Structure 1
Amino acid sequence: MTDKTTVKTLLILGASGDLTGRLLLPGLAGLLATGRAAGLRLVGAGSDPWTPDQWRKRVDGAFAAAASKADATGKKSLTAVAGSTSYHQVDVTADGPLADLLGQLEGPVAIYFALPPHISQKACEVLRREQLPTGTRLVMEKPFGSGEESARELNKTLATLVPEDHVHRVDHFLGKATVLNILGLRFANRFLEPVWNRNHIEKVEIVFDEDLALEGRARYYDGAGALRDMIQSHLLQVLALLALDAPATLHERDLRDAIATVLRASTVKAPYAKSTRRARYSAGTLGGRAVPDYTAEEGVDAARNTETLAEVEVSVDNWRWQGVPFILRSGKAIGRKRKEAVITFRPVPHLPTGFSGVDSPNQLRIGFGPDVLELDVDVNGPGDIFSLDRASLVAELNAPDLLPYGEVLEGILTGDPLLSVRGDTAEDCWRIVEPVLRSWSRGTVPLESYDAGSAGPAGWPANGDA
């Protein structure tokens, strides 16, 4: 049974790093501003020799925006956490210092590894179960390992420290609102389920195109690329939510079992020159500003052939989805930001002679940020009553009241692993993409080029509107 004991102390390893300042602390501030994390103590640790004033300045800066919008209770929580926080210079890979720090903290403690994966692995290897306060939770950032084997080894290491339901493998892309919006749409509407299968759906596209370039993240991104960074983790999870059979409950075990079942049935089939594409942006204009060629960005090693746009066709080999392509695409420096899932239905088997105007199948679009539902339908008129026009039924879905990392942290602090990726699923995601990565490393799939600010290479079917 999942331990719902509330965390007393949040320990961030890598507290002086970019992830902490840009995402973790603002997410925590939003959560505190709601009054839902009262009594928490925040502790930062890192390799940099920061003074208490440096750390306090970072925390205060991240909390300021949330404080300006918070009510009295929220302001009190923000002030209390900022006033009691501390920073410690620690070599987390050395045997002893991290355990000594943990021994000083009130448990339960959530240890957030805001560190490169290989450093997180070393930090876990020097810890022992008896050194952890009772109820400790371990929070791991993506990518979880560098492949299926390393993910399996990391899972084994974590299992020696805490139970599986005390491990949170973060997927900030899938906030609680997004997950429940998809599940509510699918399973609360009787008219959808009978057509949610290979007999009525032609293809499913899941797209996350960003109108941002590298933005100074070469140190991480150039070693990852679009396939590892987005598709291997986030987009495969969206695929699973769209493809799973109805779970009995929304309890984390039922839902994560259903997700795991779908991913075990999923593969990218060879030849990969047909089922996958990759490309890298060249110089162009994005949002009115000039963007250099990717290989000219500081910190990029051109010899790595890192892709900034990836597209793979995933097959879900089960009764419901056999033969339906799931096309997953993610790219940087694309002219139009696009974050959505598009379900394209098969054409009607016969349109009575006399009607005109239908030139494309019906589509259902589920937008991610903003969360919007759009259903295309064909209706008569106006004008010629025999001419069918495309109309869109649009609804705004439930919007989250927290930033993505605020939702992640709330699940961690309350012991709810619903939004975290289970160990076997993390391994399966690597199993799905590793053959593609090996094929790409051999050059069997060409690395195409596209101008920054464009829709992608000419001829890619998922460019622009799906």
Structure 2
Amino acid sequence: MYQHLTTLPLPERTPVPVCDLVIAGASGDLAMRKLFPALVQRISEGVIPEASRIVGIVRSGETEDGLKDGAATRLKEQGLKSPDIDSFLQRLSYVRADVSDSATMGDLNARLDDPGRVRAFYLATPPDLFIPAARALKGAGLLEHDSRLILEKPLGRNLSSARAINDAVAEVLPEGRTYRIDHYLGKETVQNLLVLRFANSLFERSWSQRDIDHVQITVAETVGLEKRADYYDRVGALRDMVQNHVLQLLCLFAMEPPNTLDADAVRDEKVRVLRALRPIEGRDVLRYTVRGQYMAGSIAGRPVPGYADELGRDSGTETFTALRCEIDTWRWGGVPIYLRTGKRMGARCSEIAVTFKSVPHSIFRDNPEPNRLVIRVQPDDGVQLQFMMKVPGSGRLKLVPRTLDLRYDTAFGGRTPDAYERLLTDVIRGDQTLFMRRDEVEAAWGFVDPIIEGWNEFYATPHRYAAGSFGPSQAVGMIERDGRSWAEPEVQG
């Protein structure tokens, strides 16, 4: 009975209305790798109505047939089925325009001929185009009626640039129709954090400094620069990952219970977490942060080059960072929270590891290890709970840690929707719960900016670590100073 119930398909919350989805940068890597595959799946499942249209804005001189052929090839390479791709391509059309110039948008305006439809504009472009693109869309009369604007991260490169983007967007569109996307918030396990905490008294009652010793949040990648070399070298791991993905995980983990699940109620609590983070400023960066850059090494048994070799020049940009944070609230006061993220690490893994305090007094000869809860975001999405068990046998009482392992694929069966699938349909539905509000973005930059300033003054050169490891030895030293150690993820083959 249980197995039958858990393999039933999960229903969509509310129907998705007929829409026009316009993607600026439709021939780019983000569209081809993430947005188009998500739309193929949503269309094949009947979530997006048949009458909906997808319009790609491009600046190249390619023909529409050539662009569609290129999209079809990329989608097939990702394992999508030909009938589903064909159904998607029937809804896809291209318009040539400069998204930053309203004078070039006549064809686009003519194409969007139904003011009664939900209309969403996805800026899959570099952030320096956000301001001119928003103004150009407004100048072309395209942001009227129920139009929505989707901004891809990163939103700026510091607090001042983020505020400039937010101010410019606010001039052309209200906050309620602005969607700042962070795809991590669309992942099933990230959303399940709310359910795990607030629907289970077992965890909610122990979710504080009373019972938790420390928390570790790890977002590890095995890839290197791929096709993002110039962009990444200007940004680095702190801006690229911590300011958005990692801090979003921290917010959902540490937030207070919202009164409701309304978008603003949830986001109010997330902002309070960001504002309660203890600043890391000046020389504090030497004690509470670690910067690293990968050297040549091996991943999954194959050699990979170092960062400077991939980039083609020496660089002081960090590809790894670890932070020791504290949240100055009654719930979390005194609980260290360790964050780390990096490229070319020994496993691809995103997880939150919660280590509980040890029992106050052990009556056993073997000291019990503390209980640990691991919330695995990717891969093998799920939840693991480690606790102590007795080894079977009639000899002396011997304790060993064992793990309850709940994985989404075995618990629910079927395919887990990709993050972009969920987020794109939420935009069309008009649900902002999983999108960042402007004060949330600015509060995150307000925490990150002083760290960057401290690095510029006191910590200009990152430490080196071998590709295939889990960062430089200084990150180990940082946590071991507190008498703790990193919970290393399993290396994936």
Pair 1:463–1:245, CA change in 2 (3 A): closer
Match of 2:422 among 407, 419, 422: 407
- Does residue 320 of structure 1 match 2:327? no
Tell me how far 1:464 sits from its aligned partner: 5.7
Tell me how far 1:69 sits from its aligned partner: 8.6
Tell me how far 1:99 sits from its aligned partner: 6.6
Tell me how far 1:264 sits from its aligned partner: 1.6
Most deviating of 231-240 and 153-162: 153-162
Tell me how far 1:248 sits from its aligned partner: 2.1
Q: Which runs of 5+ in 2 are unaligned?
A: 1-13, 477-484
| Aligned mates of 2:15, 2:179 — CA distance in 1 | 13
Q: Which runs of 5+ in 1 are unaligned?
A: none
Tell me how far 1:81 sits from its aligned partner: 4.1
Aligned pair count? 454
> Any conservation in 1 of the 2:190–2:377 contact (CA below 8 Å)?
no
Match of 2:450 among 405, 413, 435: 435
What residue in structure 2 maps to residue 367 of structure 1? 376
What residue in structure 1 maps to residue 397 of structure 2? 386
> Any conservation in 2 of the 1:25–1:62 contact (CA below 8 Å)?
no
Match of 1:40 among 28, 35, 52: 52
What residue in structure 2 maps to residue 190 of structure 1? 201
Tell me how far 1:43 sits from its aligned partner: 0.7
What residue in structure 2 maps to residue 16 of structure 1? 27
SS at 1:250 equivalent: coil
- 1:19-98 mapped onto 2 (5 Å cutoff): 19-38=30-49, 39-62=51-74, 64=76, 68=81, 75=84, 79-98=86-105
> Any conservation in 2 of the 1:374–1:393 contact (CA below 8 Å)?
yes
| Aligned mates of 1:55, 1:165 — CA distance in 2 | 33
What residue in structure 2 maps to residue 425 of structure 1? 440
| Aligned mates of 2:351, 2:463 — CA distance in 1 | 24
SS at 2:111 equivalent: coil
- Aligned-residue Cα RMSD (Å) equals 2.4
- 1:205-224 mapped onto 2 (5 Å cutoff): 205-224=216-235
Provide, for residues 338-370 of structure 1, a one-character-per-residue CA deviation record: whole Å limited to 9, x for no partner.
Answer: 221000111211112xx1222632211010122
Match of 1:333 among 340, 344, 363: 344
What residue in structure 2 maps to residue 293 of structure 1? 306
The normalised TM-score by structure 2 is 0.86
Match of 1:308 among 319, 341, 359: 319
SS at 1:449 equivalent: strand
SS at 2:41 equivalent: helix
Most deviating of 98-107 and 147-156: 98-107
Tell me how far 1:22 sits from its aligned partner: 1.3
What residue in structure 2 maps to residue 444 of structure 1? 459
Match of 2:431 among 416, 423, 428: 416
| Aligned mates of 1:313, 1:56 — CA distance in 2 | 47
Give the percent of matched residue pairs that are identical in Structure 1 and Structure 2: 35
Most deviating of 336-345 and 435-444: 435-444
